[in-house]
Amino acid sequence: MLTRKQYELLVYIDNYLRDHGISPSFDEMKEALNLKSKSGIHRLITGLEERGFIRRLAHRARALEVLRLPDNNDDDAAETPANVTSIATARKAAHRPATVPSAFSDSGESVSLPLFGRIAAGTPIEALRDQTTMVQVPAALLGTGDHYALEVSGDSMIDAGILDGDTVLIQRCEQANDGTIVVALVDDAEATLKRLKRGRGEVLLEPANARYETRALSPDRVRIQGRLIGLLRQY
């Protein structure tokens, strides 16, 4: 069982990663937990790491990865402070993707990702597979695994903070949890950026704009091509 402070820190890191795409700084964690020094944060992180809840990514600043979350059962609930959002609630909450300006400091480490082309955030279009165009992305914005970038066309995801012309960063995957914004390939021909839901034997591709309708498709018509982890925006 985690201690009260370990649980608070784990929830805070998990929510921060989902909101910003990178882990919080030690100063931010110290302030969030109302601790007087960063040494307390170091001890809490070490404890979470030893228990297998998080890991530190080598040779990268602000690089923590949440590996698992505790079961929020009755015994754990007794240890959970009232002012901390529960794990289940935090997992279900809608979060906006991390946004960084397209012109970032050259002093920071960057990674080249293939820019496959334009993906519709309104009406599905065929995903382009041109790997000749690359985009530079801050390494701190990416986690483990394979990634690529797509340019957004349309306004159906504006309520999720995704605008026409944004460049979205996608982590390749074939499975995703409900509520995740994904690149979905429909009928092996069309790709679209939507929030994934499931219900009554159907896959639901849900927009984030009231002007658009949710598409309900049979599972055999939909393949997940990746999940949204962040975006770049030109100002």
**Digit-coded pLDDT (tens) for 127-163:** 455 556 788 887 777 777 888 888 888 889 988 888 8
| 105 is annotated as an active-site residue | no
Q: Which of 64, 82, 97 is the last residue of a domain?
A: 64
Q: 54 to each of 10, 23, 171, 193, how far by Cα in Å?
A: 8, 11, 19, 29
Higher pLDDT, 123 or 46: 46
Which residues span the domain enclosing 144? 108-230
Options 92, 153, 156, 197, the catalytic residue:
156
On whether residue 31 sits in a domain, the answer given is: yes
Residues 114 and 225 in one domain: yes
Neighbours of 34 (CB within 10 A): 8
- Tokens (6 digits) for 46: 């070490």
Residues 115 and 189 in one domain: yes
Cβ–Cβ under 8 Å, residues 132 and 118: no
On whether residue 185 sits in a domain, the answer given is: yes
On whether residue 56 sits in a domain, the answer given is: yes
On whether residue 92 sits in a domain, the answer given is: no
Count the domains in the chain. 2
Q: In this predicted structure, what is the pLDDT of residue 94?
A: 36
Q: What mean pLDDT comes out for the span 163-168?
A: 88
Q: In this predicted structure, what is the pLDDT of residue 205?
A: 95
Options 102, 107, 194, 197, the catalytic residue:
194
Q: What share of the chain is helix, strand, coil (3-state, %, to 5)?
A: 25, 30, 45
Over 60: is that where the pLDDT of 16 sits? yes
Q: What is the CATH number of the domain that holds 139?
A: 2.10.109.10
| 156 is annotated as an active-site residue | yes
Residue 222: Cβ-neighbour burial (10 angstroms; 0-12, 13-18, 19+): buried
Task: Report the alpha-carbon distance of residue 74 to residue 78 in Å, rounded.
Answer: 7
Q: What mean pLDDT comes out for the span 213-234?
A: 89
Quote the longest CA-to-CA distance of the chain: 55
- pTM (2 decimals)? 0.53
Beta-bridged to residue 206, according to DSSP, are 195
On whether residue 85 sits in a domain, the answer given is: no
